[in-house]
Amino acid sequence: FASLSSVVQRNPSFSRLNSDDIDFFRSILGEKNVIQDEDRLLDANTDWLRKYRGSSKLLLQPRSTEEVSQILKYCNSRDLPVVPQGGNTGLVGGSVPVFDEVIINLGLMNDIISFDKVSGILVCEAGGILENLSSFLDNQGFIMPLDLGAKGSCQIGGNVSTNAGGLRLVRYGSLHGSVLGLEVVLADGSVLDMLTTLRKDNTGYDLKHLFIGSEGTLGIITKISILTPSKLPATNVAFLGCKDYSSCQKLLVDAKRKLGEILSAFEFLDNMSMDVVLNHLEGTRNPLPSTMHNFYVLIETTGSNDSYDKEKLEAFLLRSMEDGLISDGVLAQDINQISSFWQIREGISEALMKAGAVYKYDLSLPVEKMYDIVEAMRTRLGNSAIVIGYGHLGDGNLHLNISTPQYDDAVLAQIEPFVYEWTSNHRGSISAEHGLGLMKANKIFYSKSPEIVQIMASIKKLLDPRAILNPYKVLPHSLRS
Ligand code: AKG
Low-confidence ranges of the chain (pLDDT < 50): none
Segments making up each domain of the chain, as ranges: 19-108, 112-227, 234-348, 356-434
- Residue 402 has what pLDDT? 98
**To test the ligand 1 pocket, which listed residue (268, 273, 348, 373) has its Cβ within 8 A of the most ligand atoms?**
348
What is the DSSP code string of 296-356? EEEEEEEES-HHHHHHHHHHHHHHHHHTTS-SEEEE--SHHHHHHHHHHHHTHHHHHHHHS
- 352 Cα–ligand 1 center, Å: 10
First CA to last CA distance, the chain = 26
Fold equal for 112-227 and 356-434: no
- 388 Cα–ligand 1 center, Å: 12
Amino acid at 332: A
Picking from 472, 475, 470, 479, the residue whose alpha carbon sits closest to that of residue 217 is: 470
Beta bridge partners of 242: 295
**To test the ligand 1 pocket, which listed residue (269, 272, 362) has its Cβ within 8 A of the most ligand atoms?**
362
- 165 Cα–ligand 1 center, Å: 10
| Domain at 234-348, CATH class | alpha beta
**To test the ligand 1 pocket, which listed residue (49, 274, 300, 399) has its Cβ within 8 A of the most ligand atoms?**
399
Q: What sign has the CA pseudo-torsion 462, 468, 473, 476?
A: positive
Taking the CA of residue 349 as reference, the ligand 1 atom at the shortest distance is 9
Angle of helix 372-381 relative to helix 418-425, nearest 10 degrees? 150
Helix (H) or strand (E) holding 462: helix 450-463
Q: Are 70 and 28 in contact (CB under 8 A)?
A: yes
- Residue 290 has what pLDDT? 85
Report CA 236 to chain centroid distance, whole Å: 25
Taking the CA of residue 361 as reference, the ligand 1 atom at the shortest distance is 10
Picking from 50, 463, 480, the residue whose alpha carbon sits closest to that of residue 216 is: 463
Report CA 325 to chain centroid distance, whole Å: 31
Tell which CATH architecture fits domain 356-434.
2-Layer Sandwich (3.30)
> Which residues, judged by CB distance below 6 Å to any ligand atom, belong to the binding site of ligand 1?
91, 149, 348-349, 360, 362, 399, 401
- 387 Cα–ligand 1 center, Å: 14
- Is CATH 3.30.70.580 the right assignment for the domain spanning 112-227? no
What is the DSSP code string of 222-264? EEEEEE-PBPPSEEEEEEEEESSHHHHHHHHHHHHHHTGGGEE
The CATH number assigned to the domain with range 19-108 reads 3.30.43.10
Task: Give, using CA atoms, the residue closest to atom 6 of ligand 1.
Answer: 349
- 44 Cα–ligand 1 center, Å: 21
Prior bond of 417 cis (ω within 30°): yes
What does the pLDDT look like over 176-218, one tens digit per residue?
A: 999 999 999 999 999 999 999 999 999 999 999 999 999 999 9
How long a stretch of residues is the chain? 481
- 349 Cα–ligand 1 center, Å: 6
Strands 82-85 vs 102-105: parallel, antiparallel or unpaired: parallel
- Residue 480 has what pLDDT? 65
**Residue 241 φ/ψ, nearest 5 degrees:** -110, 135
- Residue 5 has what pLDDT? 64
Task: Give, using CA atoms, the residue closest to atom 5 of ligand 1.
Answer: 166
